Structure 1
Amino acid sequence: MSTQKISDIDGVLEVSRSMRHVRPAHYIFKIKSFSLLSEFDVEKWESNDFDSGGYKWGLSLYPNGDEERNGNGHISLYLVIRDTNSLPPGWEVYVQFKLFAFNHIQDKYLTVQDVEGKTRCFRAMKTKWGFPQFLSLDSFQNTQSGYLLDDSCEFGAEVFVIKYDGKGECLSIVKEPSDNTFTWKIDKFSTITDINLRSEEFIVGGHKWQLLLYPRGPPKSNGENICLLLVAVDHAKLLPHRKLYVKFKLWVRAQVGHAHHEEEACFGFSTSSREWGFSDFMELSHLKDPSEGFLVKDTLVVEAEIMAMSVLRKFP
């Protein structure tokens, strides 16, 4: 067992670290393709709720560190109390907790807690406690350390009673999901007078998608470019605090030759953000140039390819 003092906005934290074989009692949070979280620039990921001691809790993970709490160069991990609206005015919940990271080489869990099991008070003004310097990124990303195996890792939590409830979730970043390409042919392009056009819906990764095209650019633009967007049709079904992270590519296909025009993006779709793409995807003058082969017999071929997306599954 080792101890460490860490300066935080709440003062100096005294942290104890040890290894144990016993799995976390209340919650396990597995992540596959961890490195792609950085590609999507995920500042933090909130776990699903879990129950312990008559309250609802969650984990808050900062894969690149919580800068506000001196977590640079580390993974930051916190315990968060949820569903506080149901609690009485002036509520306080006193907690002893441990947070975990699984070491695949040692087949043990790194156990991080306040020194001597210090009790923390959760209240309306302080709903999150944890460790901004939970685990250094240098150690975590070093394959010899054992915390990251085949780009997968596992975290956990214990709150109050040591009893594994068997509830959790698994976040995966799936590359090239099945049937991940959609082609949209637009006839009589030069005669279009509508401000925008929507493709038929298509399904990738269990979600409904659609392409949205502004033939002369979005409203109030100079009208010199086409605007092309990917739309998450069923975005309203996403949980309010969750995002659906997607890496995608949009194309205008050259029907003569192979000089296709393409743009690539990563975006987190949510209940409030249903579409993303490019307002200046391609110049109209370039599109209409007969020598480029994008418009053949006044038909335009547009394509979307979803290259990777986040998939969340509850277990068991």
Structure 2
Amino acid sequence: MANLIFENPEDISRSTSDSPTMHFTVKIKSFSLLAKNSMERYETGEFESGGYKWKLVIYPSGNKDKNVTEHISLYLAIEAADLRSPGWEVHAIFRFFLHDQIRDNYLTIEDTKKEERRFRGIKLEWGYDKVIPLKTFKDASNGYLVDDMCVFGAEVFVSKQRSMDKGECLELIKESITNKFVFRIENYSKLTADFYDSNSFNVGIYKWKIWLGPNGEGIGLGSYNSLILALANKSSLSAGTKIFAEFTMRILDQVNGRHPSAKLSRWFSASSYEHGWDRFISIGSSNLTNMGLLVKDTFVVEAEVTILAVVNTTS
């Protein structure tokens, strides 16, 4: 048997055992064909331990995603469907085994400190990037690869399981979602209601509306008009969902193309679903006409909405 020399950057403990208790084994015949057939990752079938379903994940030439070469990478993965809710997590201690077919014993690979690992929605796999160098593994005198066949095994002990009471996930949108919508109001001088709302329009999966208050509200009541952006489908939002949006409102100058505008960035939710301006522009009809904003008694508002981030609860 050749001298076994391992890199040990991951606090891996290696020992030899004659007959360990294994919950699962996988025998691989014609191991060399994995690389020849470009099978960089092999995921086994499921096995059960501690009331949960697990899989072994083997990278026969190293996990390229972690820049590993000339080693075997080996991981334990929990079946995602077994996590009973987004906030559920399972704590487990595990060991891997590699059969020495010459001496009929097993190389045992485990965490040096025997620490439990936490499996959850954002971390379904735990294991080791460099379980064994390929040179050591393929050395026939070590007994791990005989006649191009090898056997890996795993032992898993679930130590505890729990659900986080509450959490949230903030997702910042890399490619921001933007849409424009035009709200055309005819017979503006005859408007009598406090507010008029546009048809709904989509920005991403969310529906929005423009609210126009021709006589203003709050501190702008009677002297300014009001413009508000509102979530149209607030009742369909999950509890805890929040949308961070940047939005620009413009009253379109139908004569000169000089559009009065204003911009805000606000969080929208089921309980805070409307944001905008009580005092957007003076409402005197002569003023609006002179500015080109009221033509043939038609008033036109444009909203440009960009979604920058979304928060959802995780339990």
TM-score (norm 2): 0.47
Flag the structure with larger Rg.
2
